[in-house]
Amino acid sequence: MSATSNNNGATPLLAATGLSKLFGGVVALDKLDLQVFANQILGLIGPNGSGKTTFFNVTTGIYPVSAGRVVFDGQDITNLSTQAVYRAGISRTFQRSRLSLALSIFDNIMIGNHKRLNQGLWFNLARRDAFRRQFEESFEEARELVQVFDAPLADRMFEAIGGFPMIDRRRIEICRALVSRPKLLLLDEPSAGMTQEETTELMDDILEVKDRFQGLTIVIIEHEMGVIERITERCVVLNFGQKISEGAYQEIARDRLVQEAYLGIE
Amino acid sequence: MTAPQDPRSLAWTIGAAIVVVLYVILLLGVESQLEIAGLLAAGIAAVAVAARFGVVARLGRFLGERDGLLNALVVAGTLAVTAFFHGDAFVLLLVATVIIYFIACLGLNLQFGYSGVLNFAGAAFFGIGCYTAAVMTVHTAVPHLLILFAGGAMAAAIGSILILPVLRTYSHYSAVITIAFGLLFKIFLEVNDALGGPQGLRVKGMNVLGWKFNSNIDIGGIEVSFYVNYIVLGLVLLALAFTFVRRVERSWIGLNLDAVRLDETAAACFGLNITRWKITAFTLGNFLIGLAGALFAMMLGFIAPTNFTFGDSLILVSIVLLGGIGNPWGLVVATAILIVVPEKLQAIQEYRFLLFAAMVILILLFRPEGLLPRSLRTYFPGWRAK
């Protein structure tokens, strides 16, 4: 296989080996071998139902695996709880935005900051001065993060996110995933439900974030081939839960198997 | 930074508070059913008109940034009403009952309003507090103030057993489990002779260092009803409970509870231990409910299983729904309405459940967030970003 040769034998940050997931009789992931290398943006593509989101859900512990192993940063994270996966340094966004629309921008971002905030009852209720310091520090941090995406948004931190358009919700969802400084960010179709211009804007933001956070690795599920071509360094193509191709965008676009899967060429 | 000074709004607020206190005194004072009905109608109309001209919104904004002022006004208002009716046991019992129910509903609000754990056994946890007080005041020499906390602790401890099946089920099913628990609790009391069976138990009145709460006070020849004792103690406990619930809300704990209620999967993906936060909310909430129950039992002096029916649990839930889910201030308004109106308007006494049901349905249809909807979280009122 060409997987390791692409990266001169470097150890991958995330490696799935023989990963399978069955829902009853339906095979969502079929002995998948997939590697994600540090500091890269990996595009995960494939037709609907090919297992992309299932791969995210299995990796982050939402579903238990049926067979196989997932290793992240030297640690076996197969079947760890979602909480443990998050603590290990993997954050994600969701295909259908899962923000809490009734809460403010700041609150939503702080949900993502859970592991870095003091969650003790005594600290939160009795030591209000100490809590206030942590609150103010976290606020500054969150505001700086939002500013990377959109400066005007950073002045509206205490407004309910439900009142903002889709692109802002996506931005905040990415901020929520980034605020805890994860090593690996999983983006599940961030352009869904947005216009062409909004998508371009959001991708600029993502590239800027990648520049700012040294050492951030991203896996992005995306249907817009223009987006994939522009921002990814490597792609993995899934079909029926199997990897059918991988490599740089230009390589996989020429791959006959990929064309068949997407265009239905016999 | 603190909230900006605003003398005109302050004058308006104090004026509004005086009007509200006078209205409450009038409502509690009149006896004729027709006059009461007229007053209620006038009250609703006045609020509607004030809301129409933006007065309510303006007061809300002003007070929203000045927590202390609102707290002080409510305490002062309650004391003013109490002083006015100092000899009227019936009215003072009502005031004390509203305060105690308010404490219990703060607990329910922690559970249901914040973490989303439904509890249809509120009256049972209230009853656990009552029975703890009954047994401990009669059979032990434990100081009575400690017994209040023992009532809360007992409710919290029994709640931590009930939470186990609740955590294993989702939404409606967990609600059904709490309903079953509430029914079992009443039946258990009725068949248990050690706890007085259906006849119930006597409870000793509160006695703090020789200060007997259940005897009337004589101040310079003026006879003051003993309920004043309970109103004062109730207000102190209420202030503590209210501060506690407010701090929970305005901290990462409150944020966690909201996150668990709104989207468990997303919360779990960011490291929140769903079980831990549900247990936290349920236990703290039951503590407040049990504490309120213990005080209530000492005030009444006598308790029986019929005080803790499923219907009573429903009243507690209706208060939270009506007041504004998650908004402690909404609870004041709703508790006052649900406790005082049926007592004053005897004509509807028999139909009160019918009326409550109709109110809850109307609220859920037309104002699903309650009479006073919860506002967004402010961690420190009046705080502004630099």
Out of A117-121, B22-26, B109-113, pick the least confident: B22-26
A67 shares a domain with A46 = yes
**Least CA distance to A124: which residue of chain B?**
B251
Confidence of residue A212 (pLDDT cuts 50, 70, 90): confident
Q: Is the pLDDT of residue A1 over 50?
A: no
Query: How far is residue B16 CA from its own chain's centroid?
Result: 23
Query: Picking from A5-14, A114-123, B10-19, B132-141, which range would have the lowest pLDDT averaged per residue?
Result: A5-14
Q: Note whether residue A94 is domain-resident.
A: no
> Which residue has better confidence, A74 or B5?
A74
Q: Is residue B378 assigned to a domain? A: no
Residue B125: per-residue pLDDT: 95
Query: Residue B53 is encoded by which pair of tokens?
Result: 């001209």
Full DSSP string of chain A? --TTGGGTTPPPSEEEEEEEEEETTEEEEEEEEEEE-TT-EEEEE-STTSSHHHHHHHHTTSS--SEEEEEETTEE-TT--HHHHHHHTEEE--SS----TTSBHHHHHHHHTGGGS---HHHHHT-HHHHHHHHHHHHHHHHHHHHHH-TGGGG-TTSBGGGS-HHHHHHHHHHHHHTT--SEEEEE-TTTT--HHHHHHHHHHHHHHHHHSTT-EEEEE-S-HHHHHHH-SEEEEEETTEEEEEESHHHHHH-HHHHHHHH---
**Residue A187 forms beta bridges with which residues?**
A220
> Is A266's pLDDT higher than 50?
yes
- Locate A190 and state its tokens: 């961030």
Q: Does B247 touch chain A (CB under 8 A)?
A: yes
Give how many domains chain A has, as a whole number: 2
Show which of B32, B54, B84 is a domain's final residue: B84
Measured CA to CA, the distance from residue B175 to residue B121 in angstroms comes to 9
Candidates B242, B244, B270, B280, partner chain A, best to mutate (most A CBs within 10 A): B270
User: C-alpha angle B248/B251/B255, rounded to 5°?
Assistant: 90
Residue B272 has pLDDT above 50, yes or no: yes
The overall average pLDDT reported for chain B is: 86
CB-based contact A119 B378, cutoff 8 Å: no
DSSP H or E segment with residue B167: helix B144-167
Closest CA to B226 of B236, B237, B218: B218
For residue A118, give the amino acid letter.
N
- The predicted pLDDT at position A264 comes to 65
Predicted local confidence at residue B1, as pLDDT: 40
**Domain coverage including residue B66:** 1-84
Residue of A nearest to B276 (CA): A119
Domain ranges, residue A225 = 1-89+182-190+201-266
Where residue B329 falls among pLDDT bands split at 50, 70, 90? confident
- Domain-located, residue B380: no
pLDDT higher than 70, residue B4: no
Of all residues in chain B, what percent carry a pLDDT higher than 90?
A: 33
Residue B372 lies in a domain: no
- The answer to whether the Cβ–Cβ distance between B272 and A98 falls below 8 Å is no
A173-188, pLDDT tens digit by residue?
Answer: 999 999 999 999 999 9
Q: What is the pLDDT of residue A75?
A: 92
Residue A85 and residue A37 share a domain: yes
Q: Which of A53, A59, A83, A187 to mutate to test the interface with B (most CBs of B within 10 A)?
A: A83
Contact residues on chain A for B271, CB-CB shorter than 8 A? 82-83, 86-87, 114-115
Highest mean pLDDT among A81-95, B225-239, B305-319, B337-351: A81-95
Tally of structural domains, chain B = 2
Is pLDDT larger for residue B69 or for residue A164?
A164
Task: Decide if B340 touches A, using CB distance below 8 A.
Answer: no
pLDDT at A67: 92
Residue B377 lies in a domain: no
Enter the ipTM: 0.89
Question: How far does the CA of residue B258 sit from the closest CA of chain A (Å)?
Answer: 8
Same domain, B22 and B171: no
Higher pLDDT pick, B219 / B300: B300
- Return the number of CB contacts < 8 Å for A and B: 91
B42 with B135, same domain: the answer is no
The proportion of chain B whose per-residue pLDDT surpasses 70, expressed as a percent, equals 98
Question: Tens digits of per-residue pLDDT, A220-255?
Answer: 998 888 888 889 999 999 988 888 888 888 888 888
pLDDT given at position B57 = 79
Chain A positions with Cβ closer than 8 Å to B: 60, 62, 81-83, 86-87, 91-92, 94, 98-100, 102-104, 107, 110-112, 114-115, 117-119, 121, 124-125, 128, 131-132, 135, 139, 143, 157-160, 176, 180
Is residue B336 predicted with pLDDT exceeding 70? yes
Which range is least confidently modeled, A104-113, B59-68, B163-172, B272-281? B59-68
Q: Is the pLDDT of residue B174 over 90?
A: no
Contacts of B273 in chain A (CB under 8 A): 83
Task: Name the band, by pLDDT with cuts 50, 70 and 90, for residue A2.
Answer: very low
Q: Band of the pLDDT at A4, cuts 50, 70, 90?
A: very low
Q: Which chain B residues are closer than 8 Å to A118 by Cβ? A: 252
pLDDT recorded at residue A158: 92
Same domain flag for A213 and A240? yes
Q: Indicate yes or no: CB of A103 within 8 angstroms of CB of B377.
A: yes
